[in-house]
Chain A
Amino acid sequence: MSKIGEAKILRVDLTKGETKEETLAPEMVKKYLGGRGLASKLLADEIDPGIDALSPENRLIFANGLLTGTNASTGGRYMVVTKGPLTGTIASSNSGGYFGAELRFAGYDMIVFQGKSEKPVYLQLMDGKAELKDASHVWGKKVDETTDILVEESGDERAKVSCIGPAGENQVLFASIMNDKNRAAGRTGVGAVMGSKNLKALVVRGDKSNFDYDKESLMKVVKKQTQILKDDGVTGEGLPTYGTKVLDNIINETGGYPTRNFQEATFEGTEEISGEALVEKGYLQKKKACYACPIACGRDTKLPSGRSGEGPEYETGWSFGAACGVNDLNAITEANYMCNELGLDTISAGATIAAAMELYEKGHIDREKLNNGPELKFGSSEAIVYYTKAMAYREGIGDDLALGSARLGEKYGMPGVSMAVKKQELPAYDPRALQGMALNYATSNRGGCHVRGYLVSPEVLGVPEKLDPQDLDSKPEWAKTYQDLTALIDSIGVCLFTSFALNADDYCELVNAVTDYDLSTDEFMEIGDRIYTLERQFNLEAGLTKADDTLPKRLLEEGIPDGPMKGKVAHLDKMLPKYYELRGWDENGVPTADTLNKLGLEVL
C-alpha cells in the first residue's frame, strides 16, 4: 500500500542481489515533498558527492513526485536522481509517460539502486513482488526491442518498462533512460550510471487500488485546474495543435535561435524544419498524451519511408537541425528516432555533433580520423544520422563524441568550441538574446539546461507577463523564483508545461488537498528554495566553485553576428552578485550559515 506523505522505498543492492523495503520519516517528506526534492536529500545523505559517478558507490534513484499516480492534471512524472557523469554535479532527469504512475500503483514512491551487479540484470516488480532477473538476453538490444521482450516476459501486457539502450550500456556520458519506449529521462547522463551498474531495465505492474489518498478533496482542485489548462491559449490550443516545435519560428524570428554551434542566432532553414513543416509535410500522425494529461503535446510521426516513432520536439529539432545547420526534417526525425532507440539525450547528442562539425571545419579534426564516415560539415544530413549511431556504439570517433562537447573540445585542442555549462550542452535558446536565460544557464544545478527555470516564458512568450529580454535588473529575482518553482513542480510530479497556465498558489493548493500540511504559498516556495540550495551544497561538496557558474566565452564576449539581436552578449557579471545575494549565498556562491539555518539544512 502506498500512501501520500509516507514515502515507501525499495532499496536494491545490486552487488548483493538483495532488495528490502524502507519507509522515510513523514517529517522528511514534508520538508522535500517527493521526486527531485526528496531523492536529492536521500542522495546527499547517502553518498560522498566527490565519488566517481560511474562507480558502484553512486546511487541511482527513481523517485515519484508527491502527486504522481493521482488524478492531478499531468500527474504522472517521475525523476531519476544520481550523481551525473557528464557534469560531476547532482543529476536529476524528469520523464512522463505512464511508468511513474505504474510504479506508484506497484506500491513504491522510490527505488534506490546501489552497488553494481556482476552480470546484466533487470528489476521486475509485479503483484507486489520484487525480483532481480537475468538481463543477458536483452543486453545490447535497443529500447523498443527491450521493452517488447520484457513486457512479454512479465506475462502482463499492461506492464510498464523503463530501460537503457546500447548508449547507456556503453556509458555514453549523456545516455538517457527511456520509459514507455519514447519518453526520456534525457539529460545529465543518468543512463550511463544505470549502465555502469549493469542494470538494464525496470519492469513494473501495479494495482491502482493499492494507492490511497483523498480523491474527493483532490478532484475539487483538479476539476478547476483542468478547466484553466483547457481555457488557456497556450496549454489549451497552442501546445496541443503544434506541440513544442511551434517555438522554432518564434525563437528564430526573435533572433535567439542558436545556429551552427552558436556561431549565428538565426537559421535560414527554419521554415523547412519547423513545427508547422512537421504538419505541412504530413509527418505528424497524431498528438500523444502522457498519464492524466489534458494537453497532449507529444507527436506521433511517420516518415515517407514508412518508419514511425515519436518526435521531434523543439529541442531535438534544434539540436540536429539549426545547431548542425541541417534543414532536412526527414534526417532530423530519423536522428531523433535513433536517439530514442539507442537511449541518447537528443540535446547533447546533436549539440556535440555540432561542436564536432565546427572542429572539423576549422581543421582540428582530420579527415582520416573519420575513417570512412561522412565529412563532419555543417548542413550534412548524412553526418547527423551516421554519428548518432557511432557515438551510441562508441565506434571510431564516436568514442570521443560519447564524452560530450567539453571533453571533445579539450581533446582536439579547442576547448572554446563547447557550448556547454558545467560540461552539459546548452539547449535551444541563445543566452545573448535572453539575459534571464543566461543567468539560469550559468546557475543551473545540473549544468546547461532550460528546465531549471524557464525564463523564456516571460522573456519571449509574455507569460505570465512580458519582460524585456535585455533587461538585467529584474532577472536575478525572476531566476530565483522560477528555479524554486520548477524544483517544486519536479517534486510534486506534475509537468512543467502546466506552469504556462498555473501558478504557485495552484500547486500549493494541490499539495494541501492531499496532505495535512496546510502550507501557505510562501512556505511552499521555501521548500523550493531548500531543494535548490541543497543541490547547490551537493555541487560545492563535489568540488564545483563559483568559477563554474559561467557561460562559454563566445557567449560572454562575441556579439551575436546576425538578426534582431545583433551585437548582444550575455551580461552575467551584472546579474550574478545580486542573484547570490537573493539566495542568501556569499560572494563566492556558498550558502551562508544563516541561510542554511533558515532553510533547515545542515552543512554536508
Chain B
Amino acid sequence: MAIKVKLYSLFRKYIDDRQVELDYEENKTIRDLIKSLDDKYDSVFSQKLIGEDEAINPGAIILVNGQNIHHLDKLDTELKDGDILAIFPPSAGG
C-alpha cells in the first residue's frame, strides 16, 4: 500500500524534503511507520514523536487524513492504502 507522509517544521530541517512516499505491506501501524522512517533517517522521528513511555510525545502531532491519532488508536492506528499523514514535532504558536 502507498502512504504519503508530509513533513513539517523541524523534520524539514533534518530531512531537507517536504514529503516522503512509502510503499508498505498491509497491517502496518503508525508505530511501524515511525520505525521505518527512523531506519532511514537516524532515529529523529521517534526522538521527536514518541516519548519515553512509548506514547505520543506531548506536543507532537500526528495526523492521518487530518485526524489526530490521539482520537484514533494512537500509535497503534492501522494504516490504509492511500493514507496521507502529516507529522509535526512539538510545536506551538499563538
Contact = CB atoms under 8 A, between A and B. Distances in A.
A482 to B, nearest CB: 13
- Which interface class (under 10, 10 to 19, 20 to 34, 35 or more) fits B? 20 to 34
Nearest to B12: A276
Interface string A244-281: 11110110011100000000000000010001100010
Interface stretch (B23-31, B32-40, B62-70, B75-83): B62-70
A542 interface: no
Contacts of B93: 239, 243-247, 275, 297, 313-314
Interface in B48-69: 48, 56-61, 63, 65-68
B86 interface: yes
Given A234-B59, A246-B8, A250-B88, 4 more contacts: A242-B91, A245-B93, A250-B61, A461-B91
A140 to B, nearest CB: 33
Nearest to A242: B9
Contacts of A564: 63, 65-67
Interface in B1-36: 6, 8-10, 12-13, 18
Contacts of A314: 93-94
A454 interface: yes
A463 B59 contact: yes
A315 interface: yes
A237 B94 contact: no
Q: Is the interface of A mostly helix, strand, loop or mixed?
A: helix
Contacts of B63: 253-254, 564
A463 B10 CA distance: 18
Nearest to A563: B66
The winner among B13, B57, B89, B90 for most chain A CB atoms within 10 A is B90
A291 to B, nearest CB: 18
B11 to A, nearest CB: 10
Given A238-B10, A238-B59, A249 B88 contact: yes
Given A253-B63, A466-B68, A241 B10 contact: yes
B71 A233 contact: no
Interface in A224-239: 232-235, 237-239
A460 interface: yes
Contact of A461 (B10, B61, B71, B86): B61
A244 B94 contact: yes
Nearest to B57: A233
Contacts of B86: 249, 253
26 contacts: A233-B57, A233-B58, A233-B89, A235-B92, A239-B92, A241-B9, A241-B10, A242-B91, A244-B93, A244-B94, A246-B8, A246-B88, A246-B92, A249-B9, A249-B88, A253-B63, A253-B86, A255-B66, A275-B93, A314-B94, A460-B68, A462-B58, A462-B61, A463-B90, A466-B71, A564-B66
B93 to A, nearest CB: 3
> 10 closest pairs, A vs B, by CB?
A564-B66, A233-B90, A244-B93, A247-B93, A238-B91, A466-B70, A314-B93, A253-B86, A234-B92, A246-B91
A31 interface: no
A250 B91 CA distance: 9
A114 to B, nearest CB: 32
A235 B58 CA distance: 12
Given A233-B58, A249-B88, A254-B68, A238 B9 contact: yes
Contacts of A275: 9, 93
A463 B58 contact: yes
Contacts of A271: 18
Contacts of A213: none
Interface in A442-472: 450-451, 454, 457, 460-466, 468
A412 interface: no
Contacts of B70: 462, 466
A462 B8 contact: no
Contacts of B57: 233
Given A234-B90, A234-B92, A242-B91, A254 B66 contact: yes
B91 A496 contact: no
Contacts of A253: 6, 63, 66, 86
A315 B88 contact: no
Interface in A461-514: 461-466, 468, 496-497, 500
